[in-house]
Amino acid sequence: MRTDLDQTLTALADPGRRAIVELLRERPLRPSEVADELDMSRPAMSRHLRVLRTSGLIEEEMLEDDARSRLLQLRRKPFTQLRDWVGEIESFWTDQLEAFKAHAERAPKKRRI
């Protein structure tokens, strides 16, 4: 069974999708604006957006003045979950390094002759 974190990591594994996320980090954009900015074909953009939507990383909002236009924006929750997971891993390694440092400082120093 795939978790939300698995879907997030899978979606972010592609450099094109990471580039889309970087653009949307600045502000919400229309799909055509993203495609133009990244010089990406419309079919490629459509595939990437489908993966990002399915993984829950982005959401679309219909514009009131034009029902055919959509605005893409990032969703906070998957990035918060990713940050929390990375924080847990970082905490583990911080603890390991502190334990190693304490061990190294306790070890008797050998004299060279």
What pLDDT, in 10s, does the model give residues 82-108? 999 999 888 777 777 777 777 777 867
Residue 107 has a pLDDT of: 66
pLDDT at 113: 67
As for how many domains the chain has, the answer is 1
55 — phi, psi (to 5°)?
Answer: -80, -10
Residues 59, 65, 78: CA angle, nearest 5 degrees: 10
Strand pairing partners for 74? 58
Interval 19-75: pLDDT, tens: 999 999 999 999 999 999 999 998 999 999 999 999 999 999 988 787 778 999 999
Does 23 reside within a domain? yes
- pTM to 2 decimal places: 0.77
CATH code of 23's domain: 1.10.10.10
Domain of 55 in residue numbering reads as: 4-76
The pLDDT, as a whole number, for residue 67 is 72
Q: Is 103 part of a structural domain of the chain?
A: no
Whether 71 is in a domain gets the answer yes
24 located within any domain: yes
In a domain, 65, yes or no: yes
